[in-house]
Amino acid sequence: MKKVRKAVFPVAGLGTRFLPATKAIPKEMLTVVDKPVIQYVVDEAREAGVEHFIFVTGRNKAVIEDHFDVQFELYDTLAQRGKGDQLSRLQQLQPSPGQTSFTRQQVPLGLGHAVWCARELVGDEPFALLLPDMIMQSRKSCLKAMVELYEETGNNIIAVQECDPAETHKYGIVGRGEETHTGFRVTEMVEKPKPGTAPSNLYINGRYILQPEIFKILESQERGAGNEIQLTDAMLKLGKQQPFYGYKYDGRTFDCGSPEGFVEANVAFALWRSDMNENMSEVIRTLLDEMHPQRQRSTG
Ligand code: G1P
């Protein structure tokens, strides 16, 4: 079985849900605490054993490439000023030369098209796909758990979580088939079904391990929901040739493409950090007390 060595990050989206913040800054570069959103997703891939990071970008996204490059003047200045901690943190996050590739989507035809744009860079091997809007928080990362599962089952794996049944029209939804000791067989995949018509309330949360045969299908995939070339439609076709397994992720997922999810991620990641937890908890409690004076702070 081939290892999952490569990961694809589709980062060409315009970020219209987040204007005006994203007028000049890519949404993937907005910061959650002190790291850009894209860094969380790349770190997750690295932790899962990924060795090559493939970004499908678009116009106005050049700063993402700069972010993953060596900043010689900065590194040198930090070294000279004795800021070794900051320097080593930057160096730890730094991909090695040759570990990143960038290609442009050129036309905004949807997620399926963005993934297809990575076909030459991925080649004939399985790959991870991480949607950078979604960042996750758990002790073991979502992709790491999926890679472990993949090493047992092979084939294709999609991470899912439960959503409010009234919100199925926002996501790709899967049907749950027979249980396996590692997850379940995926029976159906539908992109953005209307509430009441969805096969379940298990939504695709933005992490996939896919076989390269998906590219051949994407090449001729017709437009689907939202008049876009949908990855979910292509996966449904691939599912007729190869098994798809569902992995039910039980950590937290934040949709950083929306202001609400982004703010929630900032609060959650600040509270998660041991150097910030105490102060941030106090700040949040004080703000809530001031805004809702009738709310009694529980003591003890
Ligand atoms: C995409 C996928 C969808 C998935 C979602 C997760 O939709 O097409 O299947 O559930 O990401 O965020 P988008 O958010 O790009 O509309």
For the chain, what are the domain ranges? Answer: 6-257, 258-300
**Looking at residue 154, what is its pLDDT?**
94
Convert the pLDDT of each residue in 39-56 to its tens digit. Answer: 999 999 999 999 999 999
**Looking at residue 180, what is its pLDDT?**
85
**Looking at residue 289, what is its pLDDT?**
92
| CA 144 to chain CA mean position, Å | 13
Give the pLDDT band (50/70/90) at residue 298.
low
| Arch. (CATH architecture) of 6-257 | Alpha-Beta Complex (3.90)
162-17-39 Cα angle (round to 5): 70
Evaluate if residue 230 carries a pLDDT over 80. Answer: yes
Closest-CA residue, ligand 1 atom 8, reads 172
Spacing, Cα 98 to ligand 1 middle (Å): 29
Convert the pLDDT of each residue in 166-187 to its tens digit. Answer: 999 999 999 999 998 878 999 9
**Looking at residue 296, what is its pLDDT?**
63
Evaluate if residue 68 carries a pLDDT over 90. Answer: yes
Evaluate if residue 264 carries a pLDDT over 90. Answer: yes
What average pLDDT does this structure show over 220-226?
A: 93
Instruction: Report the predicted TM-score, pTM, of the whole model to 2 decimal places.
Output: 0.94
Per the document, the length of the chain is 300
**Looking at residue 267, what is its pLDDT?**
97
Measured CA distances, 136 to 261, 264, 265 (Å): 11, 12, 9
Counting atoms of ligand 1 from 1, which one is nearest the CA of 205?
6
Q: Residue type for 56, please? A: V
**Angle subtended by helix axes 259-272 and 277-291, to nearest 10:** 130
Distance CA 5, CA 19 (A): 35
Q: Residue type for 81, please? A: R
Closest-CA residue, ligand 1 atom 11, reads 206
What average pLDDT does this structure show over 201-219?
A: 97
* 206 CB near ligand 1 (under 6 Å): yes
Q: Residue 14: how many CB atoms within 10 A of its CB?
A: 15
- What is the average pLDDT score of the chain? 95
Convert the pLDDT of each residue in 113-144 to its tens digit. Answer: 999 999 999 999 999 999 999 999 999 999 99
Evaluate if residue 164 carries a pLDDT over 70. Answer: yes
* 114 CB near ligand 1 (under 6 Å): no
Max CA pair span of the chain: 62
Distance CA 28, CA 257 (A): 8
CA dihedral (139, 176, 49, 264) in degrees, to 10, reads -40
**Looking at residue 202, what is its pLDDT?**
97
**Looking at residue 11, what is its pLDDT?**
97
Closest-CA residue, ligand 1 atom 7, reads 171
Q: Residue 109: how many CB atoms within 10 A of its CB?
A: 17
Evaluate if residue 299 carries a pLDDT over 70. Answer: no
* 254 CB near ligand 1 (under 6 Å): no
**Looking at residue 297, what is its pLDDT?**
61
Instruction: List the end-to-end C-alpha distance of the chain, in Å, as a whole number.
Output: 55
* 232 CB near ligand 1 (under 6 Å): yes
Evaluate if residue 294 carries a pLDDT over 70. Answer: yes
Q: β-pairing, 172-179 with 31-32?
A: unpaired
Among 255, 207, 154, which residue's Cα sits nearest to residue 9? Answer: 207
